[in-house]
Amino acid sequence: GPGPTACLSVGSASAFSRTAPPYQLLHSAPRPGRFRFGYARSSAVGPGCAVLDQAFARYWRLLRYAGPRAPGEGPEAAGAPWIYLTVCLLPAGLETFSQLIWRDEDGTFYLNKTDIVDFPRFAHRGLLLDTSRHYLPLRAILETLDVMAYNKFNVFHWHIVDDPSFPYESAAFPELSRKGAYNPATHVYTLNDVKLVIEYARLRGIRVISEFDTPGHTLSWGPGAPGLLTPCYAGSIPSGAYGPVNPILNTTYQFMTELFREVSTVFPDFYLHLGGDEVDFTCWRSNPKIQAFMQWMGFGQDYAKLESFYIQRLLNIVSSYGKGYVVWQEVFDNGVKVKPDTIIHVWRENAGPYQQEVARVTKAGYRALLSAPWYLNRISYGQDWQAAYQVEPLEFEGSPEQKALVIGGEACMWGEFVDVTNLTPRLWPRAGAIAERLWSNKTVRDLQDAYIRLADFRCTLLRRGIPAQPLFTGYCDAEYSGF
Amino acid sequence: MQGQRGAMEPARLFLGILCASAALAASSLHQRPPQPEFLLQEPELELGESPSGSLWPLPRSLRILPRQLQLAPARFQLVHGPGSTAGPGCGLLQDAFRRYYEYIFGYSKWQNQGQRPLPAGTELLQLQVIIGSKDSECDNYPNITSNEACEYLIWYELFSLILLGLETFSQLVYEDDYGTFLINESEITDYPRFAHRGILLDTSRHFLPLKSILTNLDAMAFNKFNVLHWHVVDDHSFPYQSVTFPELSGKGSYSYDHVYTPTDVHLVIDYARLRGIRVIPEFDSPGHTQSWGKGQKDLLTPCFNGEHWSGSYGPVNPILNTTYHFMTDLFKEISGVFPDAYIHLGGDEVDFTCWKSNPDVTEFMKQQGFGIDYAKLESYYIQKILDIVSSANKGYIVWQEVFDKGVKIKPDTIVEVWISSLYTTELSRVTGAGFTTILAAPWYLDYISYGQDWKKYYSIEPLNFPGCEKQKKLVIGGEACLWGEFVDATNLTPRLWPRASAVGERLWSSENVTNIQDAYNRLVKHRCRMLRRGIAAEPLFVGYCDPEYRGR
């Protein structure tokens, strides 16, 4: 659902105000050693709330990495002994608070008296990582979750399996990773790993949406699930190669029923991403049994109908587990009947302007998720964060009702050329541009201002131990040293 | 270097370092016709096995025989062979022995293996390194010399080549499924195609912490690069701490944390030396010097707006005697600090706008009879700098503009070609005029793009320009340049490696080593080896290494 309103007020008895924050020095807090986060008496939750307890501990540690700021009018002797932080959306509010703290040259921490009203513009602010084309060690995923929280992303879209490898260790079908992972001993995610990722994300206010993409992008599933993929034919004999999932066998649907029963349980989020993109019909066409099935079903030569047939049955399976689903745009384009609460993920860059696709999806009454302009794996020389920043997700022809159906977007880091060696600097701070587009007001578009803040934020990331790459020439006080 | 087998009859493991004339005929394994110009739209390469295993760059000639020898970590030794003029007193070799023992064995759990007696004659016990040169001065700095390949191999780069031979040896050792270390009997003749194989790092646009530089020196050694072109200062910052002019970095560096002290510089030079790598510093002038102005009054030209100083500065002021006094002292220091025979003097991209605006410069032009040809003023400046550097007994390298603008330069000047458009024409012109040259133009690795751009770098043939044999001989090598606009310690290593490895093989291996499929098969393995050795080299394409990168 839409995100709850978050509000952050720093300073005693300050009223929420949308006016520019008065830039006054309140007092020198927090001092390491004395400053504490705590629950106010009026707080609805108290100690024992894991998300808050953990967030307090985490941000207390992060405060020591506060960076320099131009001092205001000089320290004021008297100050309020307490800071009240009214936060309805955690831990984003604590992140904002931590970004407000700065240090002077003597190492004293300061906080300006500040009124802030803050809530996200879009409810779905996602980041896609691809752990199939290259395996990402757990620590790379956890580090990414940390930085996502710093950027107020709230959805980790885990594109966990694909053609090249199947690192997800399934309890129901252990052969999938045993035969489909790059190395079944080292390049897998155990159930414990997955649970750790989900819990680590939860404590940072991040949902984990897993993607098990079918019927295409499944080559790595084949070795561990005999009979699942379509045998391709060369003339009248099997060529030895395999194509997409075989949609004409009952065993296929029995398999999917079992697999998604497990996946639905392991991943607690309401939504699953079911993929459905880029299905190549060549293999299906070559297979005589599929040809016969097409005829029998009256599909003629329209293989999109066969794809729809498969997807339809898959959606029914997933629905039966009480889950909602996200699918890539092809599922909508091919006219598959989907439930009204389906989220359509718009990704194609070259199939006409993506804005038209967003308009079509929302006109049909579906909710839309935008990724087309945000494929961060596509790199180029120069400051490409600016193009990502200048995207306006609601800039398409449509009614206000249609605009309301755009629930957000996702930055995608596909894995063809990315692994643990280059993931973090390639992702940050470029994804930060998208984070601000999805969080901040529509009117926040000033590139120069964004550059200054983003360059500064990048130095904050370095201080927190994250190797975020530079935007342009310059330096940070503390360069990255965590080799 | 010779390998000697334990007990019984000696097995042949000969890692030969020979003169060009004595090189074995190249084996037929890898001579396939050159590939056509590569297009990125081509389907991606399928990973396979190369007959040359994981060797990178490919040696001049290679014969891997089927017979396998085992290496036992507890017994295997790298030693000085009989008759070698070097001994345990040679620090450079002792360090290299220790380092390569670690590279060969250091990444497995061999410590836990039990002792297992091996059948006689199947174990390689020693790698003997024999230095034949009488002049085995282990503490010399690697250096370049004339184009007489044979002499240069023996006399000058001998120690560097020994280090490179150790690298090749370490790449030949592999582990079988049971963790046994094996090496095949092999015959290798190896020497570089080009003498100058450089990497340019830019520490002005972003400061690179020392550790970042040292890590990349390691990676350079793994790829047989032998020159670090250290573009140490530029417009943006002046991190080099000068003893003579401490204010240069005092005011021109990004901060007090962002400087290279004399100790740092010495460490870089020595770390490089132990890996057979020369360090050539670049102090680029008269342009690219904005950061110099902060710590040296009156060095830069004041720019004018009409009759008044505009508040900004341009290139170095070429009309003042004080400028040349300053440069004399600065380059005297630099010549002492950097032992290499060459200094890079820059000379690129000089913008005349400021000089044109300045009335004193205009007056000087008139006096000198330069008319309005400001290239003559630039020549005037450059020639004085060249004289200063010559008098310090150093050779010099300049960017191509110095040649293009007709500055009179000494015959032994090395001209570096960097402008990507028409660089082959430029190579013809420079070598036609009789100058030695270094090619950098097609290898600007800071220009990133989506996909496997290493293939583009790999497919460059440096001698593919119109010219006679004599001209081709004047191309002494090339450099992969990683300019620093968008690069700092956070992304340097994965951006440079393994993309620079493609350049490394082009500069080392034979001209006919152009099979992109074979290169891909070897480079994928080479990249995994770099990961094992702690270099965060990025992937070429989909796949995996076992183990993945564990640093950080």
pLDDT 10s digits, B243-261: 999 999 999 999 999 999 9
Chain B residues closer than 8 Å to A183 by CB: 544, 546
Chain A residues closer than 8 Å to B238 by CB: none
Instruction: Give catalytic residues of B, as residue numbers.
Output: 349
| pTM exceeds 0.90 | no
Per-residue pLDDT at A313: 95
Question: pLDDT by residue (tens digit) across A151-160?
Answer: 999 999 999 9
Residues 6+ apart with CB under 8 A from A352: none
pLDDT over 90, % of chain A:
71
What DSSP element (H or E) covers B200? strand B196-202
Beta pairing, strands B414-417 & B436-439: parallel
Nearest residue of chain A to residue B449 (CA atoms):
A380
Q: Which of B212, B450, B486 sits opposite A470 (nearest CB)?
A: B486
Residue A30, class by beta-carbon neighbours within 10 Å (0-12 exposed, 13-18 middle, 19+ buried)? buried
**Between A331 and A336, the higher pLDDT residue:** A331
User: Which three-class secondary structure state does DSSP give residue A389?
Assistant: helix
Lowest mean pLDDT across A369-373, A443-447, B98-102, B342-346: B98-102
Residues 6+ apart with CB under 8 A from B98: none
Distance of alpha carbon B534 from alpha carbon A421, whole angstroms: 10
Nearest residue of chain A to residue B452 (CA atoms):
A417
How would residue B186 be classed by pLDDT, with cut points 50, 70 and 90? Answer: confident
User: Which three-class secondary structure state does DSSP give residue A126?
Assistant: strand
Q: What is the number of CB-based contacts under 8 A between chain A and chain B? A: 132
Question: Which 8-state DSSP code applies to residue B473?
Answer: H
Q: Which of A135, A419, A483 sits opposite B215 (nearest CB)?
A: A483
- Chain B nearest-CA distance from A434, in A, is 19
Is A475 in contact with B237 (Cβ distance < 8 A)? Answer: yes
Is B449 in contact with A380 (Cβ distance < 8 A)? Answer: yes
User: Which three-class secondary structure state does DSSP give residue B194?
Assistant: coil
Question: pLDDT by residue (tens digit) across A157-171?
Answer: 999 999 999 999 999
Is A416 in contact with B541 (Cβ distance < 8 A)? Answer: yes
- Chain A nearest-CA distance from B199, in A, is 19
Is A187 in contact with B544 (Cβ distance < 8 A)? Answer: yes
Chain A residues closer than 8 Å to B538 by CB: 417-419, 421-422
Distance of alpha carbon A146 from alpha carbon A411, whole angstroms: 16
Distance of alpha carbon B230 from alpha carbon B237, whole angstroms: 14
Whether residue A164 lies within 8 A of chain B, CB to CB, comes out as: yes
Residues 230-259 (B) with a CB less than 8 A from some CB of A: 236-237, 254-255, 257-258
Is B488 in contact with A377 (Cβ distance < 8 A)? Answer: no
Question: pLDDT by residue (tens digit) across B282-304?
Answer: 999 999 999 999 999 999 999 99
Nearest residue of chain A to residue B257 (CA atoms):
A477
Is B538 in contact with A419 (Cβ distance < 8 A)? Answer: yes
Question: pLDDT by residue (tens digit) across A300-328?
Answer: 999 999 999 999 999 999 999 999 999 99
Is B490 in contact with A470 (Cβ distance < 8 A)? Answer: yes
ipTM of the complex: 0.86
pLDDT over 90, % of chain B:
63
How would residue B108 be classed by pLDDT, with cut points 50, 70 and 90? Answer: low
Question: Which 8-state DSSP code applies to residue A414?
Answer: -
Is A135 in contact with B548 (Cβ distance < 8 A)? Answer: yes
Q: Which of A380, A417, A469 sits opposite B491 (nearest CB)?
A: A469
Q: What is the DSSP string of B501-522?
A: HHHHHHHHS-TT---HHHHHHH
Nearest residue of chain B to residue A417 (CA atoms):
B541
Q: How far is CA B9 from CA B76, B124, B190, in A?
A: 17, 11, 26
Per-residue pLDDT at A79: 42
Q: Is 60 exceeded by the pLDDT of residue B545?
A: yes
Distance of alpha carbon B179 from alpha carbon B109, whole angstroms: 8
Best mutation target among B490, B497, B550, B552 (most A Cβ atoms within 10 Å) is B490
Chain B residues closer than 8 Å to A382 by CB: 486
C-alpha closest to that of B218 among B162, B139, B274, B172: B274
Whether residue A386 lies within 8 A of chain B, CB to CB, comes out as: no
Q: How far is CA A126 from CA A372, A416, B65, in A?
A: 13, 20, 54
Is B255 in contact with A477 (Cβ distance < 8 A)? Answer: yes
Question: pLDDT by residue (tens digit) across B20-33?
Answer: 222 222 222 222 33
Tokens standing for residue A20: 């520019």
Distance of alpha carbon B466 from alpha carbon B532, whole angstroms: 43
